[in-house]
Structure 1
């Protein structure tokens, strides 16, 4: 985490609103694997301003107002989800290689399905809602542009008749 905190401090030089996000797919709590998202900012240590501590911030994925998320951000979320799914798949496949008894194989499969379900719940569902909102927003823009086109065509045709 030390290098993450230092890197984050550099980003914060560009703006105080920068936050760091760490995605951990292999967090094990009470012998259960889970995905963990940590949101933080760096702060200089009191007696050593060249080194940094971190402050953990609350992180929520929430539905947005239509059109407030850029296509770059939404495509980044899609890439992130794909990366996390691939990491889960890789971990599952590695565990399956070294397991021979049926109970362990069944357990590994259940953990894998649980991890994928959690990823879809935490990232996939809000992402789907975001994409649906973007689709609605894009359709509204298309409708407005089509009405404007029709208005301009009518305007052009009436100007041509008066000349």
Structure 2
């Protein structure tokens, strides 16, 4: 068992671009939970600085749970090593995130038990939950919430303060969100191919193929296209900001010359 009393996480500083990637991932489906891993570094004050994430390929998709393979954990560790070399800072896997579609943001007993298991390997490991697609009677739209937690020595939830830090969209996080449509498409193909392998009826097989195609088209219209439009809007806003700064720079240079 991990010695939870030896040290604990004081709070979490989550970069805004990682928050955006995780939330975008959580909003891709309201039928099953999604999951990913968080990468960053912990300072001497036991404050976790999360600056990157890895979107995971789900081996099982359920409304109330999500599973990943051990290979996925190795993939995240490899990504952390690559960032260590790229940024010249000691990066490692610091936590995990998953979604709660249509239910409260609070971790279930299964979530706390999973978190406790992770903390046996790293007492500073942390969990984030994004509650999405919730609506109140008087609300005109969906609401989402975020919570950050660890497990204490009694295997109960311990809330951890999370601070979202303004940051630009880093290239490595941009690449991660760009992979999302491909990962979701792979999950759909694997799911329907597995069902067809167990199917001996030709009409049922054709029906499953048509359903797979329909779901892939749905992914393009509901995930890929909005994602592309969002990134294009970000690019346009960035270009406008660059032009504004160039004008300010020009005026400052002219003022110095005078």
Tell me the TM-score normalised to structure 2 length: 0.35
- Structure with the greater alpha carbon radius of gyration: 1
Tell me the TM-score normalised to structure 1 length: 0.50
Larger fraction in strand: 2
Larger fraction in helix: 1
